[in-house]
Amino acid sequence: MISGKFGEIGELIFEIDLVGADTERYPIDVLLDTGFTTGYLALDAQDVQSLGWSMIEGERAMRMVQGEDFFDVYEGRVFLDEREYIIPVLAGSGISEPLLGLQWLKMLPLAVNFAAEMLTLG
């Protein structure tokens, strides 16, 4: 189980580790995005390329709030809840902060208690 924190306006933020092709682990904060229903993780394309991950699909069309956009899909490795996962990662230009998608909630339980300031995943 990992503990998260609440952002200034109640955002749900967790720290996960990205595992580069060199097996080095890189901790990052990710925002759980309740509107990101079809994926596990979205990162800026430059960040993904710096990790050395392999592209598995190019130019996947995705429906966004602003309309349709295109993302490359990479095979990513992450550590979350003390376990390594190999997941498809969406990479696009201009993603301002890493986003954790709701697909995680099919595998890991989410507990949110604003009053007690408790946030856990896993």
State how beta strands 5-6 and 12-19 pair.
antiparallel
Domain boundaries, the chain: 2-117
Q: In CATH, what number does 2-117 get? A: 2.40.70.10
Q: Per-residue confidence at 66, pLDDT binned at 50, 70, 90?
A: low
Higher pLDDT, 60 or 50: 50
User: Rounded CA gap, 20 and 17, in Å?
Assistant: 9
Q: Per-residue confidence at 110, pLDDT binned at 50, 70, 90?
A: very high
Mean pLDDT across the stretch 23-43? 94
Mapped onto helix, strand or coil, the DSSP state of residue 49 is: helix
Mean pLDDT across the stretch 113-119? 95
Predicted pLDDT of residue 2: 93
Residue 40 contacts residue 107 (beta carbons within 8 Å): no
Q: Is residue 52's pLDDT more than 70?
A: yes
